[in-house]
């Protein structure tokens, strides 16, 4: 009888590359900031651009987060997501125009109250619209990607045209509330107040979303549903209801993003949602379809990239984002933080 | 003879055959049946859009892949011819060079996009093409030195294709001039391209594509490299779209971002494919014809309807002639739900 081969497990330490792998996407944001710092000669312009890049990224994240969750949960790709952005912007801005006396007053509290009313109004409108959209347009085509793309695109066209019917074909110009106009100076760099607010709102939304997804029961069900929906249903949860809820929440967030985007650009058109969709898709793809964290990082990258490049070479801004997407897909074909689907 | 010309894929419905025959005759004799600048222009647009829509159907109907960059390929072909005619002088050689290089560029672009997106998930393709197409549209309007920017390019086509070129007198009261030749250039170009695509979808390659559309997992299991077939279909359809764009440039003697690259044309193409019938080349013929004719005449009709309901709140706005996309969008959604096989599928099923 021979002796059993000696069992000597070697606890090889994971290599540096292996340990840093999961953190790579997170590190990309500071890396891009540093690259921008090296490329832009002037520190104060770099700071201004970084803040506006982060602000833009946060707004794109707010608009895109619903799309990525809806896809992850129910494998539904909604090309009409941009419609919620447009509707949110139009409803919110209309409310702000009605509350003109409050936004023109120099009081911060009055301004914020008006903004809050506008945002809540926009979110209720887009949330309700999301419910209708889900029931009428998306539900009959579950599990059929081709039809989903076609039908939701059709929905986008119809909603865009309805906006034109209701609000007229002209673009609407809007002034930001009095307290959010202008900029504060920090270290020689002019930082627009509105952008700082946008960054704050984005961080709050991201934090809240992470909290709900990681710490609550409903978040657990949503995450489990993204991983393996059939199993969750087998355990007795009605994933359909959860899905409708997520769809409504995602639509409402898109509405919030629309209001913020409209105030950021200070002009709204019926096609703005469609234009935002281009950036939203890039973000969702490079983040990894279904991943909220990936979407957040992707949005920041896109926002920063867009602002840096627009400063250095204005014509290359949109192309640079395509380049970013290509580079990331070459590195990780499923996006930065791929969501594992147990199928 | 006819069977091999149609690649053994006959219309398979009497009504459909009659409709297709009527469309073919009308288009073949358009300058004689409907003399008039506007009607001949409509006929030429129909010819070109039939090719464009058929090439899109190759991708969407047979391959099951949604692309939003089809107008980009269309534009590449158009700009190829425009640039060649601008820089090489007004010769047929310039048209050939421009069309071929446009088709090659389009195919290479499609190859790159396809390799990036299709190897992971077919659904990525739709989103990435949307992003790339809009970036290209922006780029084209920015590079005004080369492309003429928003204004586009106006250029001269070979003399034999211009109204100034006359040969013989009149035939059935129609002047025999270069415009007539230009129409037949477009018509026969479109006919050849259409028959070629009919050939492609009925080849073994086309059968594999349909198999992938029905069940890609199974097709892979049988031993077909799904990615290769999908990418090849993308390249073929891009090249065909570019050639359609070349025809359009020759016909219009002008290219611009609005006429070739805009998102509206992309939506038009989608509507034509779905209404005509996905996955049937003949659907492209019906869809394009219906749509282009409707585009020309429906707006007048809607204007009249809006006049009728004057005074009723909101209705006149809904029926405003500029809002015709609204109704097309509704029609589009309804046809995806209820007639996914379009007009052609209905006619074939009801025989």
Q: Quick one: three-class SS letters along chain A?
A: CCCCCCCCCCCCCCCHHHHHHHHHHHHHHHHHHHHHHHHCCCHHHHHHHHHHHHHHHHHHHHHHHHHHHHHHHHCCCCCCHHHHHHHHHHHHHHHHHHCHHHHHCCCHHHHHHHHHHHHHHHHHHHHHHHHHHHHHHHHHHCCCHHHHHHHHHHHHHHHHHHHHHHHCCCCEECCCCHHHCCEEEECCEEEEHHHHHHHHHHHHHHHHHHHHHHHCHHHHHHHHHHHCHHHHHHCCCCHHHHHHHHHHHHHHHHHHHHHHHHHHHCEECCCHHHHHHHHHHHHHHHHCCCCHHHHHHHHHHHHHHHHHHHHHCHHHHHHHHHHHHHHHHHHCCCCCCCCCCCC
Chain B interface disruption, residue of A82, A143, A150, A275, most B CBs within 10 A: A150
CA distances from A47 to A54, A111, B148 (A): 11, 27, 37
Question: Within 10 A of B245 (CB to CB), how many other CB atoms are there?
Answer: 33
Higher pLDDT, B4 or A69: A69
Higher pLDDT, residue B322 or B213: B213
Count of CB atoms within 10 A of residue A320's CB?
18
Name every chain B residue with its beta carbon within 8 A of the beta carbon of A285.
Answer: 124, 127-128
- Closest approach of chain B CAs to the CA of A270, in angstroms? 13
Q: What is the mean pLDDT of chain B?
A: 84
Please determine, for the modelled complex, whether the ipTM score is greater than 0.85.
no
Tell me the shortest Cα–Cα distance from B27 to chain A, in angstroms: 30
> Which residues in chain B have their CB less than 8 angstroms from residue A315's CB?
139, 142
> Does B323 contact A161 at a Cβ distance shorter than 8 Å?
yes
Tokens linked to A264? 């950021």
Report chain A residues touching chain B, CB-CB < 8 A: 77, 79, 137, 140-141, 145-147, 149-151, 153-155, 157-158, 161-162, 164-165, 169, 274-275, 277-278, 281-282, 284-285, 289, 315, 318-319, 321-322, 325-326, 329-330, 333-334
Domain boundaries, chain B: 2-349
Asked if residue B155 lies in contact with residue B86, where contact means CB atoms within 8 angstroms, the answer is: yes
> How close A176 comes to chain B (CA, Å)?
28
Residue found under tokens 């001949």: B40
Round to whole Å and give the CA distance between B319 and A67: 32
Closest CA to B110 of B140, B76, B141, B151: B76
- B263 vs A contacts (CB less than 8 Å): 274
pLDDT at B310: 67
Number of C-beta neighbours around residue B24 at 10 A: 12
Supply the pLDDT for residue B50.
Answer: 93
Which chain A residues contact residue B267 at CB under 8 A?
Answer: 153, 157
Using the beta-carbon criterion (under 8 Å), do B337 and A151 form an inter-chain contact?
Answer: yes
Residue B12 has pLDDT above 80, yes or no: no
First to last CA, chain B: 25
Taking the C-alpha atoms of residue A76 and residue A139, their distance in angstroms, rounded to an integer, is 10
Shortest distance between the Cα of B159 and any Cα of chain A, in A, equals 38
Q: Of B112, B137, B329, which to mutate for an interface test with A (greatest number of A Cβ within 10 Å)? A: B329
What's the rounded Cα separation, in Å, for the pair A68 and A66? Answer: 6
d(CA A198, CA B261): 34
**Closest Cβ–Cβ partner in B123, B142, B274 for A150:** B274
Share of chain B above pLDDT 90, in %: 24
Three-state SS string over chain B comes to CHHHHCCCCCCCCHHHHHHHHHHHHHHHCHHHHCCCHHHHHHHHHHHHHHHHHHHHHHHHHHCCCCCCCHHHHHHHHHHHHHHHHHHHCCCHHHHHHHHHHHHHHHHHHHHHHHHHHCCCCHHHHHHHHHHHHHHHHHHHHHCHHHHCHHHCEECCCCHHHCCCCEEEEEECCEEEEHHHHHHHHHHHHHHHHHHHHHHHHCCHHHHHHHHHHHCHHHHHHHCCCHHHHHHHHHHHHHHHHHHHHHHHHHHHCEECHHHHCCHHHHHHHHHHHHHHCCCCHHHHHHHHHHHHHHHHHHHHHHHHHHHHCCCCCCHHHHCCHHHHHHHHHHHHHHHHHHCCCHHHHHHHHCC
List of chain A residues whose C-beta atoms are within 8 Å of the C-beta of residue B116: 326, 329-330
Check pLDDT > 80 for residue B169. no
**Which comes out higher in pLDDT, residue B349 or B235?**
B235
Q: Given an 8 Å threshold on Cβ–Cβ distance, is A157 in contact with B123?
A: no
Return the CA Rg of chain B: 21
Q: pLDDT tier at B239 (50, 70, 90 boundaries)? A: very high
Q: Do B336 and A282 touch (CB under 8 A)?
A: no
Which pLDDT band, with edges at 50, 70 and 90, does B109 fall under?
Answer: very high
Could B116 and A329 be called an inter-chain contact, meaning their C-beta atoms sit closer than 8 Å? yes
pLDDT at B101: 93
How does the average pLDDT of chain A come out, rounded?
85
**B contacts of A79 (beta carbons < 8 Å):** 126
Contacts of B147 in chain A (CB under 8 A): none
Q: Can you tell me the distance from the alpha carbon of B59 to that of A227, in angstroms, rounded to the nearest whole number?
A: 31
Between chains, do A322 and B132 touch, taking CB under 8 Å as contact?
A: yes
- Identify which of A79, A150, A281 has the shortest CB distance to residue B336: A150
Distances (CA, A) of B54 to A197, A282, B49, B213, B240: 50, 29, 8, 17, 9
**Chain B neighbors of A153, CB-CB under 8 A:** 267, 270
More confident: A203 or B262: A203
pLDDT tens-digit map of A98-157: 887 777 777 778 888 888 899 999 999 999 999 998 888 888 887 788 888 888 888 998
The tokens describing B300, both together, are 């007048």
pLDDT score, position B46? 92
Confidence at residue B244, expressed as pLDDT on a 0 to 100 scale = 93
Q: pTM, whole model, 2 decimals?
A: 0.86
Instruction: Compare B263 and A304 and report the one with higher pLDDT.
Output: A304
Fold (topology level) of B2-349: ABC transporter involved in vitamin B12 uptake, BtuC (1.10.3470)
Nearest CB neighbour to A147, from listed B267, B320, B336 = B336
**Ranges of chain A whose pLDDT falls below 50:** 342-343
Tell me the pLDDT tens digit for each residue of B43-97.
999 999 999 999 999 988 888 888 888 999 999 999 999 988 888 878 888 889 9
| Least-confidence region, from A142-151, B94-103, B300-309 | B300-309
What domains does chain A contain, in order, with CATH numbers?
54-331 (1.10.3470)
């Amino acid at each position: 009888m021979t002796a059993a081969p000696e069992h000597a497990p070697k606890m090889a330490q994971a290599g540096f590359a292996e340990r840093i792998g999961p953190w790579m996407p997170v590190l990309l944001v500071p890396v891009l900031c540093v690259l921008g710092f090296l490329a832009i000669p002037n520190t104060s312009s770099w700071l201004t651009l970084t803040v506006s890049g982060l602000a833009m990224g946060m707004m794109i994240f707010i608009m895109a987060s619903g799309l990525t969750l809806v896809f992850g949960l129910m494998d539904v790709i909604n090309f009409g997501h941009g419609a919620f952005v447009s509707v949110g912007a139009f409803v919110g801005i209309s409310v702000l125009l009605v509350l003109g006396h409050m936004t023109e007053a120099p009081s911060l509290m009055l301004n914020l109250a008006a903004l809050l009313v506008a945002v809540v109004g926009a979110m209720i409108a887009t949330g309700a619209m999301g419910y209708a959209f889900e029931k009428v347009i998306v539900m009959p085509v579950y599990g059929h990607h081709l039809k989903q793309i076609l039908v939701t695109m059709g929905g986008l066209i119809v909603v865009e045209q309805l906006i034109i019917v209701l609000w007229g074909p002209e673009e609407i110009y809007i002034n930001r509330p009095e307290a959010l106009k202008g900029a504060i100076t920090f270290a020689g760099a002019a930082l627009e107040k509105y952008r700082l607010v946008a960054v704050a709102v984005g961080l709050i939304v991201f934090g809240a979303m992470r909290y709900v997804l990681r710490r609550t029961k409903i978040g657990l069900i949503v995450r489990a549903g993204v991983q393996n929906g059939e199993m969750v249903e087998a355990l007795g949860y009605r994933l359909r209801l959860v899905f409708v809820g997520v769809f409504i929440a995602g639509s409402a967030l898109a509405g919030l993003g629309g209001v913020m985007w409209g105030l950021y650009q200070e002009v709204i058109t019926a096609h703005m949602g469609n234009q935002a969709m281009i950036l939203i898709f890039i973000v969702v793809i490079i983040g990894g379809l279904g991943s909220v964290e990936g979407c957040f990082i992707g949005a920041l990258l896109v926002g920063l990239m867009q602002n840096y490049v627009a400063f250095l070479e204005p014509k290359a801004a949109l192309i640079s984002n395509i380049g970013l997407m290509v580079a990331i897909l070459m590195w990780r074909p499923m996006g930065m933080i791929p969501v594992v689907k147990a199928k | 003879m006819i069977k091999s010309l149609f690649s053994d894929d006959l219309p398979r419905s009497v009504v459909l055959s009659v409709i297709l025959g009527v469309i073919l005759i009308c288009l073949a004799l358009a300058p004689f049946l409907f003399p008039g600048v506007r009607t001949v222009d409509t006929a030429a647009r129909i010819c070109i859009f039939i090719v464009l829509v058929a090439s899109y159907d190759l991708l969407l109907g047979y391959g099951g892949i949604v692309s939003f960059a089809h107008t980009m390929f269309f534009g590449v072909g158009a700009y190829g011819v425009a640039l060649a005619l601008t820089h090489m002088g007004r010769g047929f050689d310039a048209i050939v060079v421009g069309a071929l290089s446009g088709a090659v560029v389009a195919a290479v672009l499609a190859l790159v996009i396809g390799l990036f997106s299709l190897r992971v998930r077919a659904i990525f393709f739709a989103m990435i093409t949307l992003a790339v197409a809009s970036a290209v549209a922006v780029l084209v309007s920015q590079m005004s030195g080369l492309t003429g920017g928003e204004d586009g390019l106006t250029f001269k086509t070979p003399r034999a294709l211009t109204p100034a070129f006359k040969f013989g007198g009149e035939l059935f009261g129609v002047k025999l001039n270069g415009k007539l030749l230009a129409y037949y250039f477009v018509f026969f170009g479109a006919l050849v391209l259409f028959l070629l695509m009919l050939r492609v979808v009925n080849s073994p390659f086309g059968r594999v594509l349909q198999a992938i559309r029905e069940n890609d997992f199974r097709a892979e299991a049988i031993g077909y490299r799904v990615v290769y077939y999908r990418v090849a279909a993308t390249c073929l359809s891009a090249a065909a779209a570019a050639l359609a764009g070349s025809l359009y440039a020759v016909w219009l003697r002008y290219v611009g971002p609005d006429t070739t690259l805009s998102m509206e044309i992309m939506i038009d193409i989608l509507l034509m494919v779905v209404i005509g019938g996905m996955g049937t080349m003949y659907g492209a013929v019906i869809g394009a014809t219906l749509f282009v004719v409707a585009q020309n005449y429906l707006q007048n009709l809607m204007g009249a309807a809006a006049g009728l309901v004057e005074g009723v709140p909101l209705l006149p706005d809904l029926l405003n002639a500029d809002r015709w996309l609204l109704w097309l969008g509704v029609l589009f959604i309804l046809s995806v739900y209820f007639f996914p096989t379009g007009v052609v599928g209905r006619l074939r099923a009801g025989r």
